[in-house]
Every structure is written in C-alpha cells, then in structure tokens.
Amino acid sequence: MSVKDYIRERFFPHMWCPGCGHGVVLNAMIRAIESLGMSKNEIVMVSGIGCSARISGYVDFHSMHTIHGRALAFATGIKMSRPELNVIVPMGDGDALAIGGNHFLHAARRNIEMTAIVMNNRIYGMTGGQFSPLSGYAAAASTAPYGNIDHGFDIAKLSEAAGATFVARTTTYHVHELSRLIRDAILHEGFSVLEVLTQCPTYFGRYNRAGDAPEMMETYKNRTVAVGSEKKNQDPDLIERGVFVKKELPEYCREYEKVIEKNQQKQT
C-alpha cells in the first residue's frame, strides 16, 4: 500500500500551519506502519486536544478524538477491552504532560501496551502560543511576555521513572530515525514513549526568534546527538536522541488475562 492509502483524503487539506512539524510525524508514522505490514483495521488511534491531536482524524484507522489530556485514559479502556488492537496515542506536550500528566504517569506505571507519541513543540499552538511545561526556563510565550520562569520536564527521564518500558527521543529533522523509532515503539510489548521534537515556527519559533521551519530543523540537526555520544560530555546542553529504555516487564493486559484465567468460573 502507498502512504495515500492510509490517509482520509476527504479530511484534507490539514489544519496545520505551513512549516509545522506535525505533518512530518504523520508521514513517518504511516511509513512505519506500512513497513510493519499492519492492516488498517488493527490500529486504533486515540488523541486528545491540540494541534497534534488532529492527526487521528487524518489517518484511515479506528480514530477517536477525545478531550484534553485524557487520551491515554480512553485508550486504556479500549486496550483493556480489546487487547488484540494496536493502540497509538499521539499527544502534544501540553496535552500529555500538563493537563494529562497524571494519566501519562499511570499509563507508564501500568506498562499497558500502547504507543505514546509526544509531539513536543514546547508551546500551546492551537490556542495561540502560551508556554507549556516543556517550553523551558526563559522561553518567550504569549503568557510569558517577560520570559518563562517555569522549568521544563525531561520527558525521557520522567517516562523512565514512571515505569515506561520503552523510551526514545528523536526530531522531525531525523525522519528515517523517526520512522524507525515509531516502528520499534509499536512493536514493543509494553508502554512505549517516543518524544519527537517538532517545530512550531508560527508561535514558538516566532516568539523565541528561533527562525523559520528549516532553521528550527537545522537546530535539531546541530543541537542533538545520538545517545551515548562523546560530544554530550563536551557540550552538556546537547539533547540526546535514540532509545533510552528498552526492557521487558509484565504487560498489564496480559497480567489481567491471567487474573481472568485463574478466577473465571466454569459456566454451568
């Protein structure tokens, strides 16, 4: 199948701004799914609210566009009810880690098999550029006109501490790596988190004089390094890309299946 076969053409043109990184994520995700040879019928995409959440409407999977921050909670109900489905949850940084932070922690802790893709553009785009928990100290935003005094999260460390059994990070510049990591995240049997640094030239770029989309992607190229790279020692501000955590732990749905197996009463 070609990429076109995975999208809902009647939903296009999409609503993302010119230069937005989210389309790159959509493309890489479809390529990953295509390479896995998965049927469209076995994939459920559950999203919350925000620019990133709109991705679920553009794909020809079972798609559920829910409420702000709660996508993982809806997804948990779906996955527990039908564990055979592949559940992908695309979220923005605010959706996943501000309003949805608690659900994020607990989904990771349960190690329920699903793929959380955090599209981190460090800003609330849909509402016009307010700072998010990932904007970082001193960033400019429409609600931080004097510079942000909130400190940011490290999504990878947070996910690992919460119990996610697959944690990775990449950027929209590294498209092949992005596609490969989405693939690995989907294949992982447990809760997987993939953080994707994705540019918002319209708000984050403009407020922070980070340049247009190509310039922001250049920065991803120049300011990130592969996990374990020597360069990180010399320049600690570099952001690491790659897989941080990959381990096997009991998966939630399978554990519950065991509970059922052990306690199910024989029908009389």
Partner 1 sequence: MQGKVKFIQGNEVCVEAALYAGLAFFAGYPITPSTEIAEAMSARLPQIGGRFLQMEDEIASICAIIGASLTGRKAMTATSGPGFSLMQEALGYAVMTEIPCVIVDVQRGGPSTGLPTHVGQGDVNQARYGTHGDHAIVALTASNHQDMFAITVEAFNIAETFRTPVILLFDEVTGHMREKVVIPEKGEIALVERLRTSVESGVDYHPYLPREDGRLPMSDFGGVHRYNVTGLYHDMWGFPSDDPKIVYGLIRHLMDKIQNYAGNMTFFRQDHIEDAHTVLVSYGAAARSARHLVENRRKRGERLGLLELQTLWPFPGDVVRKVCKNADYIVVVELNAGQVIREVKLAVDRPERVYLANRIDGQLISPTDIQNILRLLHGKGV
Shortest separation between residue 134's beta carbon and partner 1, angstroms: 21
Cβ atoms within 10 Å, residue 12 = 9
Sites for partner 1 among residues 46-105 (CB under 8 A): 46, 56-57, 60-67, 70, 73-78, 80-82, 85, 102-103, 105
Residue closer to partner 1 by CB (options 65, 246) is: 65
Shortest distance, position 124 Cβ to partner 1, whole Å: 18
Considering only residues 209-268, where is the footprint of partner 1 by CB under 8 A?
256, 259-260, 263-265
Asked whether 57 and 2 are in contact (CB, 8 A), the reply is no
Question: Cis omega before residue 13 (within 30°)?
Answer: yes
3 binds partner 1 (CB under 8 A): no
Near partner 1 in 130-189, by CB under 8 A: none
Q: How far is CA 109 from the centre of its chain?
A: 17
Nearest to 90 by CA among 115, 62, 68, 73: 115
Binding-residue total with partner 1 (CB under 8 A)? 38
Query: Rounded to the nearest whole angstrom, what is the least distance from the CB of residue 163 to partner 1 in the complex?
Result: 13
Choice between 63 and 121, CB closer to partner 1: 63
Instruction: Show Cβ contacts of residue 204 under 8 Å, excluding neighbours closer than 6 positions.
Output: 121, 122, 123, 125, 129, 135, 139, 141, 210
Site residues (vs partner 1, CB under 8 A):
8, 10-11, 40-41, 44, 46, 56-57, 60-67, 70, 73-78, 80-82, 85, 102-103, 105-106, 256, 259-260, 263-265
